[in-house]
Amino acid sequence: MTRKLFTIGPVEMYEYTKGRPMGPLPYFRTDEFSDIYFECAERLRRLTGAPGDAHVYLLTCSGTGAMEAVVGGCFAGADRLLVVDGGGFGHRFAELAAHHGVAHEPVRLSFGEGLDYGAVDEALRGAPNAEAFTGMLVNIHETTTGQLYDKDMFAWFCREYGLYLVYDAIGSFLADPLDFEKDGADAFIISSQKALALPPGLAAVILSDRLYKKVVEQDIRPFSLYFDFRDAESNAARGQTPFTPAIGAILALHERLARLEEEGGAEASAARAKALAEDFRARIRGLAEKGLIALPSYRLSNACTPLVFPKGGAKEAYKKLAQRGLWLNPNGGELADTVLRVGHLGNLTPADNQTLAEALSELL
């Protein structure tokens, strides 16, 4: 049975990644490895539109580790953050802020609810001591709901109020159009197992120079020596990491980034995800018209399509599809029986979409 990952991480790898042998790996405290680090950093800057003075750190951890590194490493008691808590990952941002003693106000969304200007405006102006806000934490694409937020809106608010803007780009990088500078970002958080289609276990954090300077000038105490950005910075300056990194994943990243640039860069990659997402959504239009499946009405990321089962049955569908080798992303909590998510990342094709759409038709 062929197994196809429509999950949103890990995803189907490209042949050149999948076929890479695990070894041999080189010793890494060398100029040769430093060059690889520098090239990865430079390519990540180009692919995200980050300026030349942006700081790029490769962290050996999951995406959540990188989220925590940024929230706990760049902000402290004197800060106050607006957090878009529109699903599991927005909620994680809020939990991280709470855990690290950073004051924060959530903009909460229930499933199905789109985020608009008014809600953010109200949260920013309506909060007591509104002038104390210093930053905003946003998942560009809230992966648990599929919602793609309006980056222009956040950029506008953050400019207007002078806030640092932290973007979790994990579910959006290479799937949706992004531009670090145009989007007014101070941080992009990236993880290896989404559209990069690499094994999980490696993350990247890109910090604007002004956010890095905040860390240094405000002398933010690192909550962890493992996630200490100042240590990461002094090592990154020589193309190294403070501790032994996931060398194999970095070498695979190095190849993947080069291929991405050869193939037209981030725009071409997002266009590809868009085409694949639109192809899938067209294929299930019939099921939607029959009311067997619904899609949320907000703007969706190209990274995934959330399938809403109006009468429940998502769990059963997940199992039956998995038995056919078609792996979708189940949701947790309240949505466990009403939502399944279909990823459009990595090495998937319209033919794969067709297989899945047909399987869904048969099931429903």
**What is the smallest separation between the CB atom of 17 and a copy of itself, expressed in angstroms?**
6
Q: Which of 58, 163, 202, 300 is the binder for a copy of itself (CB under 8 A)? A: 202
Strand ranges for 192-309 from DSSP E: 203-207, 304-308
Please, which contacts does 118-121 make with residues 24 or more away whose CB atoms are closer than 8 Å? 120/82, 120/84, 120/153, 120/154, 120/157, 121/157
Which of 192, 195, 198 is CA-nearest to residue 174?
Answer: 195
- CA 361: distance to chain centroid? 30
- Does 60 interact with a copy of itself (rule: CB under 8 A)? yes
Q: Centre a 10 Å sphere on the Cβ of residue 263 and count the other Cβ atoms it contains.
A: 10
Which of these ranges, 8-16, 76-84, 110-118, 350-358, lies near a copy of itself under the rule CB under 8 A?
8-16
20/46 with CB nearer a copy of itself: 20
d(CA 135, CA 159): 11
- The 3-state DSSP class for residue 189 equals strand
> If residue 260 lies in a helix (H) or strand (E), which one and from where to where?
helix 247-262
> If residue 166 lies in a helix (H) or strand (E), which one and from where to where?
strand 164-168
- Does 200 interact with a copy of itself (rule: CB under 8 A)? yes
**What is the smallest separation between the CB atom of 184 and a copy of itself, expressed in angstroms?**
27
- Residues between 62 and 81 that touch a copy of itself (CB under 8 A): 62-65, 68, 72
User: For the purposes of burial, counting CB atoms within 10 Å of the CB of 131, is it exposed (0-12), middle (13-18) or buried (19 or more)?
Assistant: exposed
Q: Which of 1, 118, 219, 225 is the binder for a copy of itself (CB under 8 A)? A: 225
d(CA 251, CA 75): 32
- Does 17 interact with a copy of itself (rule: CB under 8 A)? yes
* 8 A C-beta contact, residue 82 and residue 123: yes
Per-residue burial over 143-176, b = 16 or more CB atoms within 10 Å of its CB, e = otherwise? bbbbbbbbbeebbebbeebebbbbbbbbbbbbbb
Which of these ranges, 147-155, 208-216, 219-227, 293-301, lies near a copy of itself under the rule CB under 8 A?
219-227
- Does 248 interact with a copy of itself (rule: CB under 8 A)? yes
- Does 321 interact with a copy of itself (rule: CB under 8 A)? no
208/329 with CB nearer a copy of itself: 329
d(CA 291, CA 295): 10
- Does 239 interact with a copy of itself (rule: CB under 8 A)? no
Q: Which of 178, 184, 199, 217 is the binder for a copy of itself (CB under 8 A)? A: 199
Instruction: Tell me the chain's radius of gyration from C-alpha atoms.
Output: 20
Q: Which of 78, 99, 275, 310 is the binder for a copy of itself (CB under 8 A)? A: 99
1/291 with CB nearer a copy of itself: 1
Which of these ranges, 20-28, 110-118, 126-134, 349-357, lies near a copy of itself under the rule CB under 8 A?
20-28
- The 3-state DSSP class for residue 186 equals coil
- Does 227 interact with a copy of itself (rule: CB under 8 A)? yes
* 8 A C-beta contact, residue 222 and residue 43: no
- Does 135 interact with a copy of itself (rule: CB under 8 A)? no
The structure tokens 């430079």 sit at: 42
Q: Which of 54, 96, 196, 300 is the binder for a copy of itself (CB under 8 A)? A: 96
> If residue 227 lies in a helix (H) or strand (E), which one and from where to where?
none
61/277 with CB nearer a copy of itself: 61
Q: Which of 3, 210, 238, 259 is the binder for a copy of itself (CB under 8 A)? A: 3
> If residue 322 lies in a helix (H) or strand (E), which one and from where to where?
helix 314-323
Q: Which of 41, 164, 173, 193 is the binder for a copy of itself (CB under 8 A)? A: 193
- Does 293 interact with a copy of itself (rule: CB under 8 A)? no
- x/- mask, a copy of itself, residues 273-292, rule CB under 8 A, reads --------------------
- Residues between 144 and 163 that touch a copy of itself (CB under 8 A): none
Given the rule CB under 8 A, which residues bind a copy of itself? Answer: 3, 5, 7, 9-10, 12-13, 17-30, 60-65, 68, 72, 95-96, 99, 191, 193, 198-202, 222-227, 242-249, 252, 322, 327, 329-330
